[in-house]
Structure 1
């Protein structure tokens, strides 16, 4: 996500935020170029949130 703000890796290196930032101009013409990285980032965040909730529930059972 820092790549979207311009604080991530330099352009030759792959970065999800950088990919979204680069395709921002063409999002209306080619929406699939932006949708897939956004889905990947959202899935990753959802997975980490579910993992954290599960770990919290396990730790509170004691």
Structure 2
């Protein structure tokens, strides 16, 4: 297991269209989402997506 405890349900799930890698987004409550890979490693952070951003590759969990 990586650096993150996956006992918490993610707020977002994103699958890369190009390679199928899955990332799990956790909102910080202040407009930022931290994204973790399937091994639990922090990959990046972004502004929190909106429901309008949802598509085949990004879903609110």
- Fold shared per TM-score above 0.5: no
* Higher RCO (CA 8 Å, separation ≥ 6 residues): 2
More strand by share: 2
Q: TM-score, normalised by structure 1?
A: 0.20
Max Rg structure: 1
Structure that is richer in helix per residue? 1
* TM-score under structure 2 length normalisation: 0.20
